[in-house]
Structure 1
Amino acid sequence: MSSTPSAGPFQPLKADDPPVVGGYRLAAVLGAGGMGKVYLSYTPGGRPLAVKVIRAEFSEDPEFRRRFQQEVRSAQRVQGLYTAPVIDSDTEGAQPWLATAYVPGPSLAHAVARYGKLPLRSVLLLTVGVAEALGVIHGAGIVHRDLKPANVLLAADGPRVIDFGIARAADTTALTGTGVSVGTPAFMAPEQASAGTVTSATDVFALGQIAAYAAIGAPAFGDGPSHAVLYRIVHEDPDLSSLPDELRPLVGRCLSRDPADRPALADIIRMCHEISPTPLRQGEDWLPQEVAGSITERHRLPAPAPTPPPRPAAPPTPTQVSPGSHPSHPRTQADHIAAAMTQTGPAAPQFPGAAPPGPPRGNPAFPGYTIQPPYPQGQFAQPGWGGNGAFPPGPTPRRKRPGLIVAGAVLAGVAGLALLGILLPDRSGDSTSDKGGRADSSAGGGSADSGPTKPVDPRPVSYKGIDLSASYELMLADNPPRPKENNDSGVLYGDGDFYFHRDSLFGDEQVGSANGKLVVLKNSQKGSLELCRQESRFTESLGLDQLTPGSQICVLSKAGHIAVVTYRGKSGDDDPSRYITIDLTVWRNAEEASQD
């Protein structure tokens, strides 16, 4: 279940990553998952934040938006010592997002994959910390639903549970209403996997899985295809033979198939204290030294992106700001903090990630947090904020004389025509042209092109018989293109120009591009650079059942490369690996790079 750890905790922003979200200037990519991408940012005061931007597919679903808004409101009520509090959010914007406190520590999944299983004391402190977090989460009326090692972060002073309740927003939406369960298969409870029933006891089962995973270094129900793991969870007992003897009674009860037989959270905490030979106290020595070193690595935060130089503020127009009022577009907490902390006058500080001020909005994450509205006209206006904040009174425009305007327009028109006559090439026949369209100006001692030269198309490069395994992707810029696995965010949300994905739970297979677009050509069409440029029937993914051996696909990457993929077939059912075979013809740098 574990994946190879990424090269570092902070990945640079890519061309398709937004520079700012909700007024927070982004500094790095922290990770990506099934529901969105997580970025590092900072408050105006310099405190780090984790900003999670929801995938566009979810944001287009109105039922998801309604549930997401409810879950964020509930999550803002959770203020436990072992949770990462929700600081800010926007559930109504074009792409919903939420910001939580940044936790400088690896996930349990990362730590175990890199350093192996944890010692008994660390497992017990992990278990009591997560149990206490679940108590606070359940007290707010939330069931986590997706408690797994990737959602438990290991901070210097104890674990932190993140993403609580957010998975519920994706349940029963258009994307998951076709039988897809919400949750991670290897850590689902039996009732969740079989009938979709979720209660607080579902999280207790996941807690037992987490304790076993930390102590064993592997999932209690083993690895393998998702459907096989789910079958074992529903019908078989977990393999606890490698679990320390002290933990077996506790973990065994948590992993009971009947939710009624699972212990209460208070009982779990009590049992952990009884098991431990010494009193359980969270402290900086609760983790092995090598894992603690990984925490230190995450304290070396990258600097926020530089703030663009300010632009002079334009005076207001009647359609922008009316006297004594403010723009009506929504404001985030970053806006309010920047407005409250900014001083009037030219020496006002500029904060990283700060956005222009606007009407205040309450935030349940901070009881008593208020800013007194309304601000007087121009009180917090700063250079460069333009139409995003309150404007200072502009100068009274002078009345223009119509006669002077008309006279000036006539003179400008005459001057423009004269200049155009000078610049236009001579077409009277005094000069001769060669066959290439180049005017012969030898009499004048020089030459000039009659027009822009058409760019030369790149030469195609072909590669035959590429075997592309499931969950692997290709980059068209590579020579030769070599299939590679995306361990950070998966091929569906990675940066591959062309990928092959197979859902191990339901067997669905598809090809697609996470960095461009596709067009499957008709049988009567033959793939070429010109044809791929002309096509407009774009998509981002295709079901493998839409292809037959010989089918051709145009791939247009955002980096400007164009390719024709010829599908040759896929591996047989008796083959231990799953892959497709393709031929590839690439025209590199055939178009201008795009960030769209």
Structure 2
Amino acid sequence: MYTPTSPAGPPPTFQALSADDPSEVGGYRLITRLGAGGMGRVYLAHTPGGRPVAVKVVRPELAEDAEFRRRFAQEVANARRIHGLYTAQVVDAGVDAATPWLATAYVPGPSLQQVVQLHGPLPERTVLLLMAGVAEALQVIHDAGVVHRDLKPANVLVAADGPRVIDFGIARAADASALTGTGIQIGSPGFMAPEQAMGAPATSATDIFALGALAVHIAGGTPPFGNGPASVSLYRAVHEEPDLTRVPASLHPLLRHCLAKQPEHRPSAAEVIEAAHRHPAISGQLLFTEDWLPSQVSTEISRRSDLPTAPDAPPTAPAAPPTVLDAAPTALAAPPTVLDAARSLADAPTARAHPLPAPAAPPEAAPAGRAGSRRRGGRVIALTAAAALLLGAGGAYVLLDRAGSDTTAATDSSDDPAEPAPGNSAADPDADPAEVPGYAEDYTGAELASPDHTYEFDLKAGKVLPAGAATWYLGRSATEFSLAEENDAYIARGDQLTLAGCIKGIETQPVTKLPFSALPSGRAFCVRAEADLGIAIVRVISTTTDDGPVKVSIDYYRSGS
């Protein structure tokens, strides 16, 4: 059974501009960031007359590619001829700018990918209405001589009055770019037609296949050829029948027609609209009435319609909160000898005091890939019984190490994850070759690539899946890896990390942040699941300076304890 992946609520729609975001593009003053993808970042701005627009700024490495710029200009010219009711209209572009950009009408609604991630599969009637609306958009796109080539749930936005197809034709400009050298194939494997997977030219029938795959995803919660690695999905698309077991049976004939292996056997966009019109769930009424969407999706659209009016000020680093030891003299009337003992422990090289809880502040945005997931706060090992009593008396907290160790330890919020806090350095945990009883090797050396933040690593299965689909995940944003709340992690000093070294590192030098800045190519880190103590050792192959491809190699060990 499908379970929505974000019980804590939807991710933030409007993200404050950061220091590396431009304040203006092509005369448009940028207000906030809307997101990022394989082509670049997307921002909210307004026309001089006050209409909201989405401004997409292409990635720097694409901007430097002459062939990309030529094809981008050509595709933007094609896209500007498209004026469909179910497309996001192109209103402006800067194809000759130092960094090319494109402005389209802003659609105040989530993508179909976000809808399914947050709320699960959609009702039968909603799916049919969406298919008809997207098919009408494809008619207009194809009539203009353009093939979308990357139709997928992330490229269909949901507005109150129907869907809007975005990025039509623009993805084709990346074919000859530097991206093709990274091993990331243009297009999305779960939605690519057989001819596209085999390198044949894309046609209007290619988009119809993608529409069928999209409909399977939003009706059943998963793509028709599974969530496995790209190579597996592409093989199944070419050689196997789609899996429609989660899709209402009444939709099977239309979806199988769209997903026919041979392009000439698929329906036209007009035939898709007619089939939806005749379906019993529609009763001849292809109308986007007030109740065409589930109520929670309508609420999400309303939330996105409340636009910010000015950029948020760049965040400033807050002053470090006082430690409980700093507060102890004024907060507690404790004997000087106990205070002295506590302070002497704090001054020891391996001791670090836990800060007092900071005043309530707005919660941080959840890492991309799994909304609402946050690592738990720092963990402190007891200093001494006397110090624990002293600190506990003032309302602060000290937690005992679960192994009962008397080792003094720091919180797991190290200032610099790349340089672990000094501990007992007599033995380097990264170089410890000892075998660990109770663990068995499941797989090693699995090289995986996440195209962007909408894909995460399934550590247990050794796969790349859409965000929210993994059973035990390692997510990633444009700047860091993200962990499930119940996970522990440790960053090695180099590329060598054994199972024993991982366990020792987690117990003595744990971290909660895995920023790309601390994980250059070749650096290793590990993750341990608290539920079953399974361990994944991850070696970074390459990261990104934007929301682009991230490659890793993973070894997974299951625990029998």
TM-score (norm 2): 0.58
Matches within 5 A, 1:4-15: 7-15=11-19
1:218 aligns with 222
2:290 aligns with 284
Distance 2:451 2:240 in 1: 32
Select between 67-76 and 196-205 the one with higher mean Cα deviation: 196-205
Give how far 1:245 is off.
Answer: 2.1
CA 1:179–1:172: 2 relative to 1, 3 Å: farther
Give how far 1:580 is off.
Answer: 2.1
Distance 1:273 1:566 in 2: 55
In structure 1, the residue corresponding to 2:237 is in which secondary structure? helix
CA 1:54–1:478: 2 relative to 1, 3 Å: farther
1:22 aligns with 26
Q: C-alpha deviations, 1:422-454, integer Å up to 9, x for none? A: xxxxxxxxxxxxxxxxxxxxxxxxxxxxxxxxx
Distance 1:202 1:566 in 2: 39
Give how far 1:279 is off.
Answer: 1.5
One-letter identity of the residue aligned with 2:105 = A
1:82 aligns with 86
Q: C-alpha deviations, 1:361-393, integer Å up to 9, x for none? A: xxxxxxxxxxxxxxxxxxxxxxxxxxxxxxxxx
2:146 aligns with 142
2:358 aligns with none
Distance 2:520 2:230 in 1: 33
2:530 aligns with none
Pick aligned residue for 1:296 from 289, 299, 302: 302
Distance 2:186 2:144 in 1: 20
Distance 1:293 1:504 in 2: 31
Structure 2 residue 45 is matched with structure 1 residue 41: yes
2:137 aligns with 133
Query: Are the equivalent residues in 2 in contact too, given 1:549–1:567 (CA < 8 A)?
Result: no
Distance 2:40 2:518 in 1: 27
2:262 aligns with 258
Distance 2:226 2:251 in 1: 18
Pick aligned residue for 1:69 from 69, 73, 82: 73
Query: Are the equivalent residues in 1 in contact too, given 2:17–2:312 (CA < 8 A)?
Result: no
Give how far 1:179 is off.
Answer: 6.2
Pick aligned residue for 1:228 from 229, 232, 257: 232
Distance 1:289 1:43 in 2: 31
One-letter identity of the residue aligned with 2:273 = I
Select between 12-21 and 139-148 the one with higher mean Cα deviation: 12-21
Distance 1:32 1:3 in 2: 20
2:401 aligns with none
Distance 2:132 2:83 in 1: 17
Distance 2:108 2:242 in 1: 32
1:479 aligns with 414
Structure 2 residue 127 is matched with structure 1 residue 93: no
TM-score (norm 1): 0.55
Distance 1:234 1:491 in 2: 22
Distance 1:164 1:85 in 2: 10
2:199 aligns with 195
1:173 aligns with 177
Distance 2:62 2:49 in 1: 32
Q: RMSD in angstroms over aligned alpha carbons?
A: 4.4
Query: Are the equivalent residues in 1 in contact too, given 2:10–2:118 (CA < 8 A)?
Result: no
Q: C-alpha deviations, 1:546-596, integer Å up to 9, x for none? A: x5669xxxxxx9x9x98999946889xxx99853279xxxxxxxxxxxxxx
Distance 1:115 1:562 in 2: 35
In structure 2, the residue corresponding to 1:169 is in which secondary structure? helix
1:580 aligns with 538
CA 1:113–1:292: 2 relative to 1, 3 Å: same
Pick aligned residue for 1:205 from 190, 206, 209: 209
Point out where structure 2 has 5 or more consecutive residues left out of the alignment.
314-348, 353-368, 376-411, 419-448, 454-458, 466-475, 481-493, 499-512, 528-532, 541-561
Give how far 1:300 is off.
Answer: 0.6
**After TM superposition, which residue ranges in structure 1, 4 or more long, deviate above 6 angstroms?**
459-462, 471-474, 480-483, 490-494, 561-566
Distance 1:548 1:221 in 2: 37
One-letter identity of the residue aligned with 1:298 = R
CA 1:167–1:576: 2 relative to 1, 3 Å: farther
1:114 aligns with 118
1:162 aligns with 166
Distance 1:239 1:549 in 2: 40
Q: Which structure: larger Rg? A: 1
Query: Are the equivalent residues in 1 in contact too, given 2:16–2:312 (CA < 8 A)?
Result: no
Point out where structure 1 has 5 or more consecutive residues left out of the alignment.
308-458, 463-470, 484-489, 495-499, 506-511, 517-543, 551-556, 583-596
Q: C-alpha deviations, 1:302-337, integer Å up to 9, x for none? A: 113499xxxxxxxxxxxxxxxxxxxxxxxxxxxxxx
Pick aligned residue for 2:187 from 183, 186, 191: 183
Q: C-alpha deviations, 1:440-482, integer Å up to 9, x for none? A: xxxxxxxxxxxxxxxxxxx9999xxxxxxxx9999xx943778
Query: Are the equivalent residues in 1 in contact too, given 2:148–2:167 (CA < 8 A)?
Result: yes
One-letter identity of the residue aligned with 1:280 = L
Query: Are the equivalent residues in 2 in contact too, given 1:192–1:198 (CA < 8 A)?
Result: yes
CA 1:26–1:203: 2 relative to 1, 3 Å: same
Query: Are the equivalent residues in 1 in contact too, given 2:228–2:463 (CA < 8 A)?
Result: no
Give how far 1:29 is off.
Answer: 1.0
Q: C-alpha deviations, 1:175-231, integer Å up to 9, x for none? A: 315764310111111111122431111100011011111211221222122222222
